[in-house]
Structure 1
Amino acid sequence: MKLETLIGRSLTEWSADATAPAGLAERALRRRTRRRVRTVALATGAAALVAAGAVTAGVERGPAPRPATRPVDTSLHADPAHSPPVRFVAAGRIAMSAYYVTHRPGNGLAVASQRTWYLYDPASGGYRETPWAYLAVAPGLRKAAVLEGPLPAARVGLLDTRTRKVTRWIPLGRRAGGLSWSADGRRLLVTTYAQSPDLPTGPRSSTRTGFYVVDAKTGHTGSFRPLPQDTDNFNVRQDLGWSRSGALIWSPTGTVPTKTFYDLRGRPRAAPPHEADSDQDAGLSPDGRYVATGNPGSGPGPLTTVKDAASGRTVGVQPVEQLSAWADDGHLIAVACKPKACMGKGEFYNRLVLVSVDGKTITPLTGYRHTDRGDSWTPVFTSR
């Protein structure tokens, strides 16, 4: 059964405000060199509030390899009454596996910020606070990689998300500040830093030193590979990530192209087709047919666009602020602000929604948050 059908059924029980957006706060803070999305008046639309019970939905898998040991749960879960959510949030192939709240001690001018992490707890069906300074959840949601504070850390732990216990500690020759799982959950990319990657952005440059690739099954750590910061990116945190195929890794830039690619030895490589074209976190759709892009520069309200990757033709415009992840080939998890209130600070009052490619169906997933406040929460998405 298609996700559109399931969402349509939930409309009989709920109706919600039109959901529209403007400029993403955390992206503006995280990537100050990026152009902020222009905010204008938002036209009223209709959105649907998800029924409290989970709804099962079929979804097409993407081309990236995935563990085939068990069926992939694609049920729809939402908690639109709470911010941050108390209950599990997921749609199609993607789950909100964790979230964090950022705190900056003292005057914030020279002190590294600290994150309080909340990890999905399968036993309770909600999110529980953790003691870790940084974490990344593996595809399938059954394990996570964790770092102890203060960052950078001397070792990385592999955590069982059900027991919430570290099953293995992996010592590192260089200290780590960032983590990223390959799409198949078999390898862990560890970004190393000389100093905390969470120092304030400003005249200070990144102290990224390089990376390790860790085999998650054996705990074997490959050779350290030097890879200094990208000089076009003024952010202190410059964590590395995986290409869709897992054959390459990428470093974030401050402009478009948004990523610079390297092989697993740290040698520069050409970007895979369309993987560095978008400033939206969602990027390519699971089947590789569509690419999420930014504001088209026309029309009322904050907008995003989905284009055909091959032709560049626009296939849909969405009245949302940011496209965060693909739920399936026809729907995305996005950030949207309150209807008719996206001007000025209204753009910072937003929530997570599920939006169709054509922008006509919007389903709230969480309650609203104030992203211009110090106690705001940031979601982390993982394929399940």
Structure 2
Amino acid sequence: MNVEELVREALREQADREPPVPAGFADRVLGVRRRRRARRLASVAAATAAVVAIAVAVPLLDSGHKADVRPSGVLDSGAIRAHPDQSPPRELIGAGDAVLAAYYTAESKQLTKDRGVSARTYWLLDPRSGKYRKDPRWSFVAVAPGLKTAAVLERNLPAHRIGLLDLATGEVERWIPVQHGVGGVAFSYDGTRLVATTYDEDPDLRVREKVHTLDGRAAWMWAARFGRSSRSGFYDLDVSSGTGSFSRVAPDRSSNSRADFAFSRSGGSVYAQYVGGRDGLQQFYDLKGNKIAAPANEKHLRSDVPARLSPSGRLAALGLTKEVAGSPGRSYSSVRDPRTGREITKVRGGHLLAWADDKHLIAWERVTSLEEEYRPRLVLVTIGSDKVVPLSGVQEPAEPTDPRQPWEPVFARR
């Protein structure tokens, strides 16, 4: 059963429990999606992917931006751009509307005998060359939809100004000064606003802890300070003018030291991860900093699954549900109705990162068996299919005592 039939079945079952919807409602909903589909995914030659560095240009669904008059280029194409031999990637990776806009590595650096900081180093996509360039100036980066602008924070956190970086030139076009120090930023879905999370101290501070390696030897490592968040609130800022309001939020002692806010899909509220009864639980706030119930279409989401809602808002990406033993092991995640939480189907991938369109997602998927150490790669997965298209090389794990962590992706919409 394909995704259209699954969605139609879900709507019909809902109709049995609730007042009837207008005749043909499911067909009209799915019809919008059909009209936007121009071309289907083509296959990538696995042998070529394993041997040479490639940039695959395969059509995905049409983006629907018929009035878009920007010059054509690598960022304006919905094609698959894959480099399965590169990890970390050196050249553009993307599919549909999702582009790997940046990635970062983090390294624990000692400040005192028992205190350290997890310092990030970013590689940002140059939209002109389609290559990733190291930019060590920034401690935190968020990329706006369209991949023209990034919000950046300087090295020492909390920062007292937010930079708007032109990704093409690498220069900061404008600074937004803030009275309360900022440790994290995120754009709204339409890219017109920024939520900036404020902290009283660096949210990436670490403490020194003793651990035991597999061979039984004692070693020291740097760990996040659980239950010691200094988060104080957030700014809701207009990107074009730099103006906005600050809302104070009481520190959450049950969360990690970093607990950044992000906008809801509509932009009418913000949410943050709340580590309590179970991982991934989220707490929503109105734009004045008051706790509120989750929006109807986001109450079944998890804050630790970055993909969240599909572009149409009709599907929700949820967490890992099943791992199948084998060589390599296969992992599957749940795709659900965002309003009811009812599972519609499962899709390949253990960690869903971004929607390419309403039928395809980018995910981490392991390449090792369940008995081996976890080693993932970026893949493109398809709802209704068990096939995957490799997008990146394999991410190698860090040693337990290695201060450097594996590279982490930052996705943005074209």
In which range does the TM-score fall when normalised by the shorter chain?
0.7 to 0.9
Give the equivalent residue in structure 1 for 2:314. 289
Does 2:347 align with 1:343? no
Give the drift of 1:295: 3.2
For structure 2, the 5+ residue unaligned runs are: 1-35, 207-223
Does 2:245 align with 1:245? no
Which residue of 219, 231, 236 corresponds with 2:257?
236
- Post-superposition Cα deviations, 1:89-111, rounded to whole Å, max 9, x if no partner, equal 11111111100010001399521
Q: Distance in 1 between matches of 2:238 and 2:341?
A: 38
Q: Distance in 1 between matches of 2:39 and 2:381?
A: 10
Identity over aligned residues, as a percent? 37
Give the equivalent residue in structure 1 for 2:172. 166
Q: What letter is aligned with 1:176? A: V
Does 2:248 align with 1:226? yes
Which residue of 384, 393, 398 corresponds with 1:358?
384
- Post-superposition Cα deviations, 1:132-166, rounded to whole Å, max 9, x if no partner, equal 11111111000111111111111111111111101
Which residue of 290, 301, 313 corresponds with 1:267?
290
Does 2:41 align with 1:6? yes
Give the drift of 1:294: 2.4
Give the equivalent residue in structure 1 for 2:61. 58
Say how many residue pairs are matched: 343
SS in 1 for 2:138: coil
Whether the aligned pair in 2 keeps the contact of 1:242 and 1:249 (CA below 8 Å) is: yes
Give the drift of 1:214: 1.8
Which protein has greater RCO, CA pairs closer than 8 Å, 6+ apart?
1
Q: Which moved more, 1:250-259 or 1:137-146?
A: 250-259
Give the equivalent residue in structure 2 for 1:110. 115
Return the TM-score normalized by structure 1.
0.81
Summarize the Cα distance change of 1:317–1:109 in structure 2 as closer, same or farther, 3 Å threshold: farther
Q: Distance in 2 between matches of 1:360 and 1:136?
A: 32
Give the drift of 1:266: 1.1
Higher strand share: 2
Quote the RMSD (CA, aligned, Å): 2.9
Summarize the Cα distance change of 1:53–1:354 in structure 2 as closer, same or farther, 3 Å threshold: closer
- Post-superposition Cα deviations, 1:333-357, rounded to whole Å, max 9, x if no partner, equal 1001115x23241x1x111100112
SS in 2 for 1:169: strand
Whether the aligned pair in 2 keeps the contact of 1:229 and 1:238 (CA below 8 Å) is: no
Give the drift of 1:50: 10
Which residue of 141, 151, 155 corresponds with 1:149?
155
Which residue of 336, 350, 356 corresponds with 1:327?
356
Q: Distance in 2 between matches of 1:291 and 1:271?
A: 14
Whether the aligned pair in 2 keeps the contact of 1:7 and 1:50 (CA below 8 Å) is: no
SS in 1 for 2:178: strand
Summarize the Cα distance change of 1:50–1:287 in structure 2 as closer, same or farther, 3 Å threshold: farther
Q: Distance in 2 between matches of 1:108 and 1:361?
A: 50
Summarize the Cα distance change of 1:362–1:193 in structure 2 as closer, same or farther, 3 Å threshold: same
- Post-superposition Cα deviations, 1:268-326, rounded to whole Å, max 9, x if no partner, equal 22211241423322122222222222233575453312223355443332342211111
Return the TM-score normalized by structure 2.
0.75
Summarize the Cα distance change of 1:125–1:381 in structure 2 as closer, same or farther, 3 Å threshold: same
Does 2:343 align with 1:314? yes
Give the equivalent residue in structure 2 for 1:22. none
Give the equivalent residue in structure 2 for 1:90. 94
Give the equivalent residue in structure 2 for 1:196. 202
Q: Distance in 2 between matches of 1:109 and 1:322?
A: 33
Q: Distance in 1 between matches of 2:240 and 2:161?
A: 16
For structure 1, the 5+ residue unaligned runs are: 18-48
Whether the aligned pair in 1 keeps the contact of 2:39 and 2:59 (CA below 8 Å) is: no
Summarize the Cα distance change of 1:11–1:308 in structure 2 as closer, same or farther, 3 Å threshold: farther
